[in-house]
Structures are given as structure tokens and as C-alpha cells.
Amino acid sequence: MSDDLPTGVERPPSPPGRPSRSSGRRLAPIIALVVAVVCAGLFVLLAGAEVDDGGGESAETPLMARPAPEAVGELEDGAVFDLGRRRGSWVVLNFFDSNCVPCVQEHPDLLGFDETQRALGPIGAELITVVYGDDPEGVGRFFDRNGGDWPVVYDEDGAISAAFGVNLVPETWIIDPDGVIQWRTISTVTTDQLNQVVNGLRTMRG
């Protein structure tokens, strides 16, 4: 049926709350544009939510820029490790499990990082492995096979892991000479990445 009306007869207004066809046609491009903008915003947000892309960005934590929690554990030789006694040095804590595939994959990079930092002498960072829920003998065999003679701390009751909020490994933290947390990652690390971050933090500190 044609929508044409006799000459001189006005078209009745659209019922309240019901847009006319022409209004709907005008709104369609606007709605499409809004949807596109929202989708683009979500994409940017998700892209920016990456914790660590290898470029040195730090993962979020409420502990950032605050004094590191107390961390006391037992070393391989039975001696007591106390993080508070490491003041004056840059400390890199790497939470580890010998049965963790990413931990095994990043180990060569930790070896390279440790070698580089030791070559710097007193200003070099100390690398320390923290182990929770793993068999000490298995951990010992892992280091014997794959190298690495930095301190290994056994977090027997999980107090250190709980204090830092570590649920999954590997996870790596950097603590400055004042005992303040400066960086954290919840993914694997590389030699270049860790060296870049530590050196950058050291330079900023002056």
C-alpha cells in the first residue's frame, strides 16, 4: 500500500516513544560509529593490559615502591637467609620450581644475567632463587645439571611467597639497596631484559 496521502492532508505524527523510519535511518550511522569507538577502546585497553612484553614494563602490585616484606628462609647449607640483611645491594628475587617448564626455559637467561652482574663487582645485583613446595634434592640436581651457584632459599612454610603474593612461578622482583621494591614480572625473563631494567633503575637512582 502506498504511503502517499491526498493533497492537503498532513501525515499524523509517530506514536510517542516510537521513532519514525527516517529517524531510525539517521540514527543507524551514529550507533555504528559508537559501537566502533567502543570496540576500538576495548582493543586498546586489552593491548595495554599486557603485564610484560619483554620491554621492561613492571607488573602491578600494591607492594610497588614500598619496603619489601620480611623474607626469612633457609639456604642450601642450612644457614639462615634474611632479605633485610641485603640492604645496600640490588637484589633480584626469582621464585622458582624445578618442575615448572617456564622456569626451566628462563634458567639460561638467569645464568647470563648473574654472570653480567657479577662482572660489575660491588655494584652488581645479587640474584637469589626462592623455592616453595619443591623437593630440595630435586632442586639441587637441577642446579647441578644446569649451572647456577647463586643462593637458593627454601621457603618451607610459604611465608615469603605469601608475603609477596606469589601464586604461580616463575616470578621475578627487583629490590633496591634501600630495601624498596622497584620492579616485578609474572612472566619469564631474559638476560638483556633484566640487565636493562637493573641498569636503568641504578642510573635513575644515581
Compare 2 and 138 and report the one with higher pLDDT. Answer: 138
> What are the phi and psi torsion angles at 103 (to 5°)?
-65, -45
Q: Residue 27: what pLDDT?
A: 52
In the beta sheet, which residues pair with residue 128?
A: 93
Q: Which helix (H) or strand (E) holds 203?
A: helix 191-205
Q: What is the pLDDT of residue 206?
A: 78
Tens digit of each residue's pLDDT (9 = 90 or more) over 17-31: 544 545 455 555 455
More confident residue, 108 or 11: 108
Mean pLDDT throughout 37-50?
Answer: 35
With 0-12 / 13-18 / 19 or more C-beta atoms within 10 angstroms meaning exposed / middle / buried, residue 180 is middle
The answer to whether 59 and 186 have CB atoms below 8 angstroms apart is: yes
How many Å apart are CA 50 and CA 64, to the nearest integer? 17
Q: Give the cell for residue 115.
A: 654472570
Amino acid 173: pLDDT: 98
**The three grid cell numbers given for residue 121, joined into one nine-digit string:** 663487582
Q: Which tops the pLDDT comparison, 137 or 56?
A: 137
Distance, C-alpha 54 to centroid of its chain: 10
CA distances from 204 to 44, 176, 197 (A): 29, 11, 11
Q: What is the pLDDT of residues 72-124, one digit of tens each?
A: 999 999 999 999 999 999 999 999 999 999 999 999 999 999 999 999 999 99
